[in-house]
Amino acid sequence: MNTPPKLGRVLETALYVDDLERASQFYEGVLGLTALSRDGRFCAYDVAGVSVLLLFKRGATLETVQMPGGTIPPHDGHGPIHMGFAVGADELPKWEERLGAYGVVVEGRTDWPRGGRSLYFRDPDGHLLELVTPGVWATY
């Protein structure tokens, strides 16, 4: 009973945004993500075929959502959140160039002891996004 069942990868990550249309333009235009599903309260994006980024309009999920197969309990979030996207080491300079072309300010760069590198910038809602190359964590 002491050993928990096995967990898989993190499948979904959620960010809460003030303007869903503005956020969608950023994530689709700048980051090139493809929408899987959307309505007036959220947009779901495919991330490399292995995970889903959910953008929720802040305050739009404060009540239980009734679905044909069940319910989704209320949730919401406030303040700037941090999340990182895995990128290949050879892709990082290309991303920095793309961000600059879209007027996105790079706020920080880090060279990690294991050999990985990180590049930090913000989305229109102030969330801190990171592009991370292999060599940052023992598992990546």
129 vs 58: CA distance, rounded Å:
18
Q: How many other CB atoms are there within 10 angstroms of residue 40's CB atom?
A: 8
Locate the domains of the chain by residue range.
7-78, 79-140
55: nearest Cα among 96, 32, 26, 29? 26
104: nearest Cα among 123, 83, 126, 128? 123
Residues of the chain with pLDDT under 50: none
The two beta strands, 117-122 and 42-47, are unpaired
CATH number 3.30.720.120 is the correct assignment for the domain at 7-78:
yes
Residue 120: the pLDDT is: 98
87 vs 117: CA distance, rounded Å:
10
**β-strand partners of 118:** 110, 132
36 vs 51: CA distance, rounded Å:
11
Residue 1: the pLDDT is: 74
Instruction: Specify the CATH class of 79-140 in words.
Output: alpha beta
